[in-house]
């Protein structure tokens, strides 16, 4: 979603022109199928009723639905929820999501969970035909699912007049502005637990950015590749060679110069009380100590680079931010991004949640609704869902 004005100057070309809602035939009286990403966490509320715990994705879908309803469309929304593995599962029924969305946009209908049918994830043509039967138009507004070649994402544009919804369009425009001829200096901040999850993204960014700032548990694999002692920190030994190769291929990577670490035998506060001593080390940790956050010197250095950037992209926490003892690095970076005068984009569920918890979302130009989709677009420059929309025949629009 958009915080500060992300559209100043207009988005650059580069990811290809997507059909917009305005390109659809007149929708008054027509049945429109909207693929949204309503995959939201649930909780048991008062009286035992299951309800939506975080309505971020539902609120993000509202502008497209309101545009269609205001123009007389008969709107049906489809989405997945959780991982029911191709069969009905009461834990993932859409009823709580349906109630919440219908309260936001009266008059819309919500289908049952797409993933109750194995044809969704298998991209089964028969499932696609059943899904679109009786509909006149299709809108993809599910950016967070558009990296999946699933039936509801890539199938309908081949059969119906199709368009990108408002959310999908905003996501592509914001990320296009970052990835295609960005204003410089361009600083990317990448955190998280596993090198394996983000190695492709880091390789892609390394040839685009002026500074690539690495944090989170995955940073210790890179530090170990340079010969530093990382104690008991998370280490992907099978990727040490890949880490060393990336570091040798570019000078843009910035690694932590200090770290907050947990003493041997200590436990992180992940749903329970944390135990153990916390100490600040330099780039080398003592045996048995586990690095769990970037240190204050690193946070200050990273913040300075962010403050001087014209473009900032941030994905992934810088430490174990669920434990307050190791949340400072992520918090400092969040404020640095929010204070940056440059164009700022935050992507990924944990990162978006961190800026929301700090009340900073409105101070960031674009907070992406996609996690995996954002990373795949950065790495590969396209998504199956976007390609399907661009390939839809103009004659049908």
DSSP-derived 3-state class of residue 323: coil
In contact, 277 and 249? CB cutoff 8 Å: no
For residue 347, the model assigns a pLDDT of 86
393 has pLDDT over 60: no
d(CA 67, CA 64): 5
pLDDT at position 13: 39
Nearest to 197 by CA among 223, 168, 234, 247: 234
pLDDT at 6 over 50: no
**15 — pLDDT class (breaks 50, 70, 90):** low
Q: How far apart are CA 173 and CA 11, in angstroms?
A: 5
Cis, bond preceding 185 (omega within 30 deg of 0): yes
Amino acid 56: pLDDT: 85
Tell me the CATH number of domain 21-165+385-396, given options 2.40.37.10, 3.40.50.1260, 3.60.15.10, 1.10.287.3510: 3.40.50.1260
Distances (CA, A) of 41 to 61, 127, 195, 251, 262: 16, 26, 26, 40, 30
Looking at residue 369, its pLDDT comes to: 81
32 against 179, higher pLDDT: 32
Band of the pLDDT at 317, cuts 50, 70, 90?
Answer: very high
Closest to 357 in 3D by CA, of 327, 391, 379: 327
Does 11 score more than 90 pLDDT? no
Confidence class for position 395, pLDDT limits 50, 70, 90: very low
% of the chain residues with pLDDT over 90:
84
Q: Please say if the pLDDT value at position 153 is more than 70.
A: yes
Predicted local distance difference test score (pLDDT) of residue 50: 93
- Work out the number of other CB atoms within 10 angstroms of the CB of residue 262: 27
Long-range contacts of 263-270 (CB under 8 A, 24+ apart): 263/288, 263/289, 264/232, 264/288, 264/289, 266/290, 268/292, 268/320, 268/322, 268/323, 268/326, 269/322, 269/323, 269/324, 269/325, 270/320, 270/322, 270/323
Across the range 14-40, mean pLDDT stands at 91
Phi and psi (nearest 5°) for 187?
Answer: -115, 125
Least confident window among 27-31, 113-117, 314-318, 390-394: 390-394
Three-point CA angle 124, 156, 178, nearest 5° = 110
Tokens of 176: 């296009």
Residue 350 predicted with pLDDT over 90: no
Mean pLDDT, rounded, for 29-49: 93
pLDDT digits (tens, 9 = 90+) for 76-101: 999 999 999 999 999 999 999 999 99
Residue 370 has pLDDT above 90, yes or no: no
pLDDT averaged over every residue in the chain: 92
Contact 65, 107 (CB under 8 A): no
Mean pLDDT of 373-394: 88
| Signed CA dihedral, 9, 14, 17, 20: sign only | negative
pTM (two decimals): 0.88
What percentage of the chain has pLDDT greater than the value 70? 95
Sign of CA dihedral 272, 277, 279, 285: negative
CA 310-330-265 angle, to 5 degrees, is 150
Would you say 142 and 372 are in contact if contact means Cβ atoms under 8 Å apart? no
Q: Where are the domains of the chain?
A: 21-165+385-396, 184-341
Asked if the 184-341 domain carries CATH number 3.40.50.12780, the reply is: no
Is the model's pLDDT at 3 over the cut of 70?
no
* pLDDT at residue 284, rounded to an integer: 97
Q: What distance in Å separates the CA atoms of residue 236 and residue 202, rounded to the nearest whole number?
A: 16
Question: Using one digit for the tens of pLDDT, what is the confidence trace for 230-289?
Answer: 999 999 999 999 999 999 999 999 999 999 999 999 999 987 789 999 999 999 999 999
Q: What is the pLDDT of residues 182-217, one digit of tens each?
A: 999 999 999 999 999 999 999 999 999 999 999 999
Q: Stretch 350-375: mean pLDDT, rounded? A: 90
Q: Which residues, including other chains, have CB under 8 Å from residue 339's CB and lie 6 or more apart?
A: 307, 363
Question: Is 45 a residue whose pLDDT tops 90?
Answer: no
Residue 323 clears pLDDT 50, i.e. is over it:
yes
pLDDT single digits (tens) 221-238: 999 999 999 999 999 999
Report residue 353 as tokens: 């949640």
* Number of Cβ within a 10 Å radius of residue 128: 20
In the predicted structure, residue 67 carries a pLDDT above the cut 70: yes
- pLDDT band of residue 348 (cuts 50, 70, 90) is confident
pLDDT of residue 73: 98
Residue 116: per-residue pLDDT: 98
Does 21-165+385-396 match 184-341 in CATH topology? yes
Q: How far is CA 338 from CA 11, 18, 329, 356, in A?
A: 21, 30, 14, 11
Q: What share of the chain is helix, strand, coil (3-state, %, to 5)?
A: 40, 15, 45
């Amino acid at each position: 979603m958009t915080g500060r004005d992300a559209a100043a100057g207009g988005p650059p070309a580069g990811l290809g022109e997507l059909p917009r809602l305005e390109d659809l035939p007149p929708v008054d009286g027509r049945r429109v199928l909207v693929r949204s990403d309503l995959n939201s966490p649930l909780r048991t509320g008062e009286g035992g009723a299951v309800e939506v715990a975080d309505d971020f994705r539902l609120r993000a879908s509202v502008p497209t639905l309101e545009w269609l309803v205001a123009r007389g469309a008969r709107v049906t929304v489809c989405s997945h929820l959780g991982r029911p593995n191709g069969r009905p599962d009461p834990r993932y029924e859409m009823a709580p999501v349906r109630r919440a969305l219908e309260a936001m946009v009266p008059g819309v209908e919500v289908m049952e969970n797409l993933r109750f049918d194995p044809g969704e994830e298998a991209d089964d043509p028969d499932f696609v035909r059943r899904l679109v039967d009786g509909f006149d138009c299709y809108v993809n507004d599910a950016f967070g699912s558009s990296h999946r070649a699933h039936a509801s994402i890539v199938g309908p544009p081949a059969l119906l007049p199709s368009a990108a919804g408002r959310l999908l369009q905003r996501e592509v425009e914001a990320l296009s502005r970052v990835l295609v001829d960005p204003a410089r200096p361009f600083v990317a901040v990448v955190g998280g637990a596993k090198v394996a999850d983000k190695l492709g993204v880091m390789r892609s960014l390394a040839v685009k950015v002026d500074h690539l700032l690495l944090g989170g548990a995955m940073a210790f694999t890179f530090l170990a590749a340079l010969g530093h002692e990382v104690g008991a920190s998370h280490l992907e030994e099978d990727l040490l060679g890949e880490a060393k190769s990336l570091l040798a291929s570019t000078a843009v990577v910035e690694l932590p110069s200090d770290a907050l670490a947990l003493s041997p035998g200590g436990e992180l506060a992940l749903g329970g009380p944390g135990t153990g001593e916390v100490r600040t080390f330099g780039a080398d940790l003592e045996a048995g100590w586990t690095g769990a956050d970037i240190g204050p010197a690193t946070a200050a250095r990273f913040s300075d680079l962010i403050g001087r950037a014209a473009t900032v992209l941030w994905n992934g926490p810088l430490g174990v931010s669920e434990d307050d003892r190791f949340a400072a690095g992520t918090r400092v970076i969040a404020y640095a991004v929010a204070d940056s005068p440059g164009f700022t984009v935050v992507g990924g569920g944990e990162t978006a949640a961190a800026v929301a918890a700090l009340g900073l979302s409105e101070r960031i130009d674009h907070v992406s609704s996609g996690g995996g989709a954002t990373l795949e677009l950065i790495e590969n420059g396209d998504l199956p869902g976007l390609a399907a929309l661009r390939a839809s025949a103009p004659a049908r629009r």
